Amino acid sequence: MTTDSALQRSFRLLVTGGGTGGHTYPALTAIRAMQARLAAADRSLEVLWIGTADGLEARVAPAEGIAFRTVATGKIRRSANPLKMLSAANVKDMARVPLGVAQARSIVAEFQPDVVLATGGYVAVPAGLAARLCRRPLVLHEQTVRLGLANRKLAGSATRIAVSSDSSLPLLPAELRRLAVVTGNPVRPEVLSGQADKAVQALNLAGFDRRLPTVYVTGGAQGAQQINGVVRDVLPWLLGHANVIHQCGPANTEELRAAAAGLDPVLVGRYHLTGFLGAELPDVLALADLVISRSGAGTVAELTALGKPAVFVPLATSAGNEQAHNARHLADAGAALALLGEVTPQALQNAVGPLLSDPALRAAMVERARAYGRPDAAERLVDVLLTAAAG
């Protein structure tokens, strides 16, 4: 047994990033994987998370028993018009960044992390810059195909840049490519361990016809009006070919329930409408033969790790149009279908119809999707963090 004090003391990881689930959950999954890795070597992990008071991370980190600190930061409100970027709100927020860097520098100097992990979001900028000022190794993790704004600002300070896709590498400036490593986007382990029969029991899907494929429709936790609208308009046709689990957002259930009320009772039995899915989600994903969803980085990572055929309806207003990039990248490889531009009921029917009627077509898409999936992404990211910490 080694007596080296550096190996005996706990490993210190400082995490920064958040605002949304896309930045928060990959960090949390990496923390859990790091804890397990170190525990197997009889070492402990100390984690400190720097985030914003009103971001998702402010709820997630304390709920996981992770120490949490906030710093001043500024959010850039983007616009295609450069003049609008010079808005009073942007100028005011950017003036807060130096204060945030000073606050973060004090926190980093006190905590003395072995490595800093930045997963994006504007809150990551002050802590990432502080890591450089304090000469601590900085690992960036990018969930989308292209570097997000925060990671672009921090790239020059990074020790390593972990990206989620091979297709990100040629998009990086040449001087950054040597720092890049493809890890994938960490996926929560529970998502990968669902059981289809549990979904049938938990949701009481007694009216489902198991001879038909099952479609899972989701627009995220709050639902998506665009997806809800086109699915509603093709619902009689869709239920004639499939069972449907539709996670529509809590505010939209009554409207969609009313739309389905006039359908044939047999079709209604194949339609499970819910505002929100919690612990049942992994089992629903296991049951699904096809998913209709947005194409955020987290969703893409989960569906490719599971090898699920998908029809993506990208959120047009996503930062940097990243959802369209994600969807197009997989669609070009035959690993998904992407509805880009105007999304009509007929366009959705044209995309979904062949996949529902042809099991072989679905099976081919399963294999292509799995080729892009990285279920071991969290372990790969832990490797990068430990290597960066070791110098």
pLDDT at position 316: 80
* Residue range 240-261, pLDDT digits in tens: 999 999 999 998 999 999 999 9
* DSSP structure string for 192-250: GG--HHHHHHHTT-TT--TTS-EEEEE--TT--HHHHHHHHHHHHHHHTT-EEEEE--G
Residue 67 half-sphere exposure toward CB, CA atoms < 13 A: 9
Rounded percentage of the chain residues whose pLDDT exceeds 70:
91
pLDDT at position 97: 79
**The pair of three-digit structure tokens given for residue 85, joined into one six-digit string:** 């970027």
Contact of 16 with 116, CB cutoff 8 Å = yes
**The pair of three-digit structure tokens given for residue 6, joined into one six-digit string:** 């550096």
Contact of 180 with 267, CB cutoff 8 Å = no
337, β-bridge pairs: 311
Which domains, from first to last, does the chain contain?
Answer: 5-187+376-390 (3.40.50.2000), 189-372 (3.40.50.2000)
Q: pLDDT averaged over the chain?
A: 91
Calculate mean pLDDT across residues 197-209. 97
pLDDT at position 1: 38
**180 alpha-carbon distance from chain centroid:** 20
Rounded percentage of the chain residues whose pLDDT exceeds 90:
81
**The pair of three-digit structure tokens given for residue 59, joined into one six-digit string:** 């709820």
Calculate mean pLDDT across residues 15-31. 94
- Model pTM score: 0.86
Q: What are phi and psi of 146, to 5 degrees?
A: -105, 150
Look at the block and give the residue holding tokens 């529902």.
Answer: 356
* Residue range 148-200, pLDDT digits in tens: 889 999 999 999 999 998 989 998 999 999 999 999 999 999 999 999 999 99
Under the phi-then-psi rule, with left for phi > 0, alpha for psi from -120 to 50, and beta for the rest, what region is 357? alpha
pLDDT at position 311: 98
Segment holding 311, helix H or strand E: strand 310-312
Contact of 250 with 276, CB cutoff 8 Å = yes
Segment holding 111, helix H or strand E: helix 97-111
182, β-bridge pairs: 163
Confidence check: pLDDT of 77 > 50: no
Residue with more model confidence, 8 or 319: 319
Residue with more model confidence, 193 or 4: 193
pLDDT at position 317: 77
pLDDT at position 6: 46
**The pair of three-digit structure tokens given for residue 207, joined into one six-digit string:** 């009216």
* Residue range 228-240, pLDDT digits in tens: 999 999 999 999 9
Calculate mean pLDDT across residues 105-123. 97
